[in-house]
């Protein structure tokens, strides 16, 4: 009887240890966003300066932009554009749903057909991790650290500022070794 109680006690401690270490790992993997985003300042045209390789952007060769506006439902309208190898403009329209109002730093974005965007599946995380006070540069990612973008209001921002944002991304646990620098041909 004593042996059985000892085994149960050991199993209980193992389970608690596993639960505790899992919780610690989950906390380490959490991702901090900016405390608050003023949407009226964030809206408008952004130039993609750098990104982690993405399957849905593989055709984009240059002039990658994102324009954010408010749609008739009060959500973000997303208009992504780029130029492919043949010089054709590619366009992807989506909708962003703020998931942490009134802070506005965590957005779920869907590029599904408009008729089914209201469904919660098929939405990707778009978290604003860093933005300068004048809303001229932003760092956007997601909690699994698979996607990352450096965005700027100008097509050719100061390189030191870009490096600062990439270093910050590294402190958050993002690998920046595979970042693709976006070519912007606009002067």
C-alpha closest to that of 111 among 98, 97, 99, 101: 97
Question: Residue 104: which region, alpha, beta or left (left: phi > 0; alpha: psi -120 to 50)?
Answer: left
pLDDT computed for residue 56 by the predictor = 74
61-85 in b/e form (b: 16+ CB < 10 A) is: bebbbbebeeeeeebbbbebbbbee
DSSP letter (8 states) at residue 183: B
pLDDT computed for residue 184 by the predictor = 97
pLDDT computed for residue 23 by the predictor = 35
pLDDT computed for residue 53 by the predictor = 77
Query: Considering the domain 39-181 in this protein, what is its CATH number?
Result: 2.40.128.20
pLDDT computed for residue 181 by the predictor = 95
Print pLDDT tens along the chain (187 aa). Answer: 554 433 333 333 333 233 333 333 333 469 999 999 999 999 999 999 999 977 778 899 999 999 999 999 999 999 999 999 999 999 999 999 999 999 999 999 999 998 898 888 889 999 999 999 999 999 999 999 999 999 999 999 999 999 999 999 999 999 999 999 999 998 7
- Domains of the chain, by residue range, sit at 1-28, 39-181
The 3-class SS string of 77-108 reads EEEEEEECCCCCEEEEEEEEEECCCCCCCEEE
State the residue for tokens 């030191």: 160
């Amino acid at each position: 009887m004593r042996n059985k109680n000892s085994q149960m006690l050991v199993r209980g401690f193992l389970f608690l240890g596993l639960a505790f270490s899992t919780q610690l790992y989950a906390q380490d993997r959490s991702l901090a966003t900016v405390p608050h985003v003023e949407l009226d300042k964030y809206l408008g045209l952004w130039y993609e300066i750098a990104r982690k390789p993405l399957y849905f952007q593989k055709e984009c060769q240059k002039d990658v932009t994102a324009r954010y506006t408010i749609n008739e439902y009060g959500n973000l309208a997303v208009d992504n554009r780029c130029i492919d190898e043949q010089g054709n403009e590619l366009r992807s329209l989506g909708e962003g749903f703020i998931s942490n109002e009134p802070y506005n730093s965590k957005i779920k974005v869907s590029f599904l057909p408009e008729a089914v965007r209201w469904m919660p599946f098929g939405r990707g995380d778009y978290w604003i991790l860093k933005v300068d006070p004048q809303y001229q540069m932003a760092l956007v990612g997601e909690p699994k650290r698979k996607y990352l973008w450096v965005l700027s209001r100008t097509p050719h921002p100061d390189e030191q500022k870009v490096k600062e944002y990439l270093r910050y991304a590294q402190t958050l646990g993002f690998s920046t070794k595979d970042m693709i620098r976006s070519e912007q041909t606009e002067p």
